[in-house]
Chains A and B, each alone.
Chain A
Amino acid sequence: MPSLSHFALAVVQAVLLLAAAPLLSGFMRVVRAKMHTRRGPGVLQDYRDLIKLMKRQDVHPPASGFVFRLMPVIMPATLLVVAMGTPVITRFAPIDALGDLITTIYLFALARFFFALSGIDSGSSFAGIGASRELTLGVLVEPVMMLSLFVAALLAGSTNLGTIGAAVASLSMHSAAATLMAAAAFGFAVYIELGKLPYDMAEAEQELQEGPLTEYSGPSLAMVKVSLSLKQLLVVAWFVAVFLPFGNATSMAPLDLAAGLVVFVLKVLAIFAVVGIVENSVARTRFRLTPRHSWLGVGIASLAFVFYLAGL
Chain B
Amino acid sequence: MSGFHLVNGLSGLLIVTSLLVITARRPFNSAVFYASQSFVLVLVFLALAGVTGSHELYTWSATALVTKVILVPVIMARVFGKLDDPKLGSGERISPALSVILAAVVVVLCFVVVSGVNLRTAEAVKPALAISLAHFFLGLACIVTQRNILKQVFGYCLMENGSHLTLALLAANAPELVEVGIATDAIFAVVVMAVLGTQIHRTLATLDADQLTTLKG
Q: Mask for A286-312, Cβ within 8 A of B = 1, else 0?
A: 000000110110111011011101111
**Any A CB within 8 A of the CB of B131:** yes
Are B13 and A177 closer than 8 Å at their CB atoms? Answer: yes
Cβ–Cβ < 8 Å partners of B128 in chain A: 312
Q: Once the chains are docked, how many angstroms separate the CA of A289 from the CA of B8?
A: 36
Q: How far is the CB of A257 from chain B (nearest CB, A)?
A: 31
**Any B CB within 8 A of the CB of A156:** no
Cβ–Cβ < 8 Å partners of B209 in chain A: none
**Any A CB within 8 A of the CB of B83:** no
Are B131 and A312 closer than 8 Å at their CB atoms? Answer: yes
Cβ–Cβ < 8 Å partners of A295 in chain B: 95, 97-98, 101
**Any B CB within 8 A of the CB of A50:** no
Are A299 and B16 closer than 8 Å at their CB atoms? Answer: no
Are B8 and A311 closer than 8 Å at their CB atoms? Answer: yes
**Which of B103-111, B147-155, B176-184, B192-200 is the interface stretch?**
B103-111
Are B97 and A299 closer than 8 Å at their CB atoms? Answer: yes
Interface size on B, as a range, is 20 to 34
Q: Which DSSP category, helix, strand, loop or mixed, fits chain B's interface?
A: helix
**Any B CB within 8 A of the CB of A280:** no
Contact partner of B111 (CB less than 8 A), chosen from A175, A177, A298, A309, is A309
Cβ–Cβ < 8 Å partners of A302 in chain B: 100-101, 104
Are A296 and B104 closer than 8 Å at their CB atoms? Answer: no
Q: How far is the CB of B89 from chain A (nearest CB, A)?
A: 15
Contact partner of A312 (CB less than 8 A), chosen from B19, B96, B127, is B127
Interface size on A, as a range, is 20 to 34
Q: How far is the CB of A146 from chain B (nearest CB, A)?
A: 16
How many residue pairs link A and B with beta carbons under 8 A? The number is 69
User: Known contacts A177-B13, A295-B95, A298-B101; is A306 also within 8 Å of B8 by CB?
Assistant: no
**Any B CB within 8 A of the CB of A176:** yes
Cβ–Cβ < 8 Å partners of B15 in chain A: 303
Q: How far is the CB of A184 from chain B (nearest CB, A)?
A: 9
Are B9 and A176 closer than 8 Å at their CB atoms? Answer: yes
Are B97 and A298 closer than 8 Å at their CB atoms? Answer: yes
Q: Once the chains are docked, how many angstroms separate the CA of A300 from the CA of B104?
A: 9
Which chain B residues numbered 92 to 144 have a C-beta less than 8 Å away from chain A? 95-101, 103-104, 107-108, 111, 127-128, 130-131
Cβ–Cβ < 8 Å partners of A241 in chain B: none
Are A305 and B8 closer than 8 Å at their CB atoms? Answer: no
Q: How far is the CB of A163 from chain B (nearest CB, A)?
A: 20
Which chain B residues numbered 79 to 97 have a C-beta less than 8 Å away from chain A? 95-97
Are B97 and A312 closer than 8 Å at their CB atoms? Answer: no
Contact partner of A303 (CB less than 8 A), chosen from B95, B100, B111, is B100
**Any B CB within 8 A of the CB of A181:** yes
Q: Once the chains are docked, how many angstroms separate the CA of A105 from the CA of B63?
A: 50
**Any B CB within 8 A of the CB of A190:** no
Cβ–Cβ < 8 Å partners of A237 in chain B: none
Cβ–Cβ < 8 Å partners of A311 in chain B: 8, 127
Q: Once the chains are docked, how many angstroms separate the CA of A311 from the CA of B115?
A: 12
Which chain B residues numbered 1 to 21 have a C-beta less than 8 Å away from chain A? 1, 8-9, 11-13, 15-16, 19
Q: Considering the complex of A and B, which 9 residue pairs feature the smallest CB-CB distances, nearest first? A: A299-B100, A177-B12, A295-B97, A312-B12, A296-B97, A306-B104, A302-B104, A299-B101, A303-B104
> Given A295-B95, A303-B104, A306-B104, list of 16 further CB < 8 A pairs?
A177-B8, A177-B13, A177-B16, A295-B98, A296-B100, A298-B101, A299-B96, A299-B97, A299-B101, A300-B100, A303-B15, A306-B108, A309-B108, A309-B111, A310-B111, A312-B11
Q: Residues of A with Cβ closer than 8 Å to B?
A: 175-178, 181, 292-293, 295-296, 298-300, 302-303, 305-307, 309-312
Q: Residues of B with Cβ closer than 8 Å to A?
A: 1, 8-9, 11-13, 15-16, 19, 95-101, 103-104, 107-108, 111, 127-128, 130-131
Some 30 contacts from A to B, beta carbons below 8 A apart, are: A175-B9, A175-B12, A176-B1, A176-B9, A177-B8, A177-B12, A177-B13, A177-B16, A181-B16, A292-B97, A295-B98, A295-B101, A296-B96, A298-B101, A299-B97, A299-B99, A299-B100, A299-B101, A299-B104, A302-B101, A303-B16, A303-B19, A305-B104, A306-B104, A306-B108, A307-B107, A310-B107, A310-B111, A310-B127, A312-B128
